Amino acid sequence: MNRIVATFVLVFAISPVAAQKVRVDFDHSNDFSHYQTYRWAGPLTGDDLNQLMQERVVGFIEEALSARRLKRVKTGGDLVISANVSVHREDVFTTFSNSTGFGWGWDAGWGSAISTTTVQPIFRGTVTVDLVDARRNQLVFQGVSTSSLSSRPARNTKRLAKSVNGIFEKYPPR
């Protein structure tokens, strides 16, 4: 029994389930220093979030842009911002076995074993933020962050904030 508990703890301790992954891509020939204003292309897309979480995502993005000295305007603007949030399910398979056929001698390799496989669904959320040059109508920066979700809204709010901040830590590109 102790071996099962130790294996279970070890699997979840080294599991990358809670790891957050942030990737960005940008136009390497673009000069980001001339961008000073932005506007939203439209409402946040993604049917997987309720209205409260959608407002939080928009708030986190606007906060990050404001920290980079970008100002929001109703029309025009240097950048057009769009964001998408999606949720998908990943199944994690864990197999436990209590094999008794180890070593040499009688019953070597021919012992009995009982294996049990469990499936645990993990829900992952992906936030994608696109920044488009308004004059050229060309994508100049894209940030994508993926993180596991919790059943607790407060934890998801913290993870969303961390995801958006992780994206904008890499903006403007150097």
CA–CA distances in Å: residue 137 to residues 24, 73, 77, 130, 153 = 19, 17, 12, 12, 36
Query: What is the rounded radius of gyration, in angstroms, for the C-alpha atoms of the chain?
Result: 23
Q: Which residue type does 165 have?
A: N
CA distance 81 to 65: 10
Give the DSSP H/E element, type plus range, for residue 62: helix 51-67
Print pLDDT tens along the chain (174 aa).
444 434 443 344 444 445 689 999 999 999 999 999 999 998 877 766 788 888 899 999 999 999 999 999 998 899 999 999 888 888 888 888 776 555 555 545 555 667 788 888 888 889 999 999 999 999 999 999 998 888 888 998 999 899 999 999 988 887
Where do the structural domains in the chain lie, given as residue ranges?
20-93+117-168
Question: For residue 78, what pLDDT is reported?
Answer: 94
Residues 167 and 174: their CA atoms lie apart, in Å, by: 14
CATH topology (fold) of 20-93+117-168: Double Stranded RNA Binding Domain (3.30.160)
Per-residue confidence (pLDDT) for residue 65, from 0 to 100: 94
